[in-house]
Amino acid sequence: MLAGVVKASPSSPFRKPEALRLLVSDTSPYARKCRVLVREFGLSDTVEEVDAHPFKDGDVLLAANPLGRVPALIMDDGRALTESLLIGTYLAAQAGQPWTEDWDEWRLQTLGSGLIDLAVGRRVEMVRDEALYSEYWITRRERGIARALDQLEDEAGGLGEPLGFAGLTIAIALDYLDFRYPEAGWRKGRENLVTLHAFWSERDSFAVTSPPADG
């Protein structure tokens, strides 16, 4: 559950910005976490989403994040925050929203994020030239995905209120599997994860940030 807010003060870097630019790609699950939070926290009038496909190495993205990855949040003083967890925490502070201090929830959020990492890594391997395929790395990531799903299924029932960063991260990971690795069949025998995914799927913030079918 979202609990424990980072409070802003006049001297805090977490001050109300005039404008923020969030660099995103509509197929990135990492950027999607931030896009959902913008909507959940009611910050759509403050945060402008800017498409910045990471494989195109655009000047705006590279100036904000030399790693060439999305998301990146450009603040009104020109500095940029990177990584979805940091950006999400910053957005929560701007909105005056409570944020989790439950270490167990952070642990599950991290596991969900790792599941995304494995799924993205598998996708990268799968779109290489066929001559460069590595069955070892594909199989290794698929096994890791299965193990992560099993552990999350065991623990998701104890997550409590799913409207939190852990629940969101896990739901986005599951949706990304549907998008890029549907043959994983993650729903079979995993009713807790099905319930969690269904909860988020019914929220407008989740629906409007779904990746395009032809992405």
As given in the structure block, the two tokens for residue 2 are 């979202």
CATH topology of domain 20-95: Glutaredoxin (3.40.30)
User: Taking Cα atoms as reference points, which of 39, 71, 36, 66 lies closest to residue 52?
Assistant: 71
Every domain of the chain with CATH number 3.40.30.10 lies at: 20-95
**Residues forming a β-bridge with 49:** 22
User: Taking Cα atoms as reference points, which of 50, 26, 35 lies closest to residue 87?
Assistant: 35
Q: Which of 34-43, 80-89, 97-106 has the lowest mean pLDDT?
A: 97-106
Every domain of the chain with CATH number 1.20.1050.10 lies at: 103-207
Q: What is the pLDDT of residues 135-168, one digit of tens each?
A: 999 999 999 999 999 999 999 887 767 788 999 9
| SS3 call for 51 | strand
What pLDDT score does 4 carry?
Answer: 32
Query: In sequence order, which residues have a C-beta less than 8 Å from that of residue 164 and are 6 or more positions away?
Result: 1, 2, 100, 105
CA triple 192-1-143, angle to 5 deg: 40
Q: What is the pLDDT of residues 25-64, one digit of tens each?
A: 999 999 999 999 999 999 999 999 999 988 888 999 999 9
Residue 7 has pLDDT above 60, yes or no: no
pTM of structure: 0.89
**Residues forming a β-bridge with 47:** 20
Fill in the amino acid letter for 9.
S
What pLDDT score does 177 carry?
Answer: 98
Q: What is the CA radius of gyration of the chain?
A: 17
C-alpha to C-alpha distances, 54 to 7, 101, 132, nearest whole angstrom: 33, 32, 21
Distance (Å, rounded) from C-alpha 111 to C-alpha 105? 10
Options 1.20.1050.10, 3.40.1160.10, 2.102.10.10, 1.10.3720.10; which CATH number does 103-207 get? 1.20.1050.10
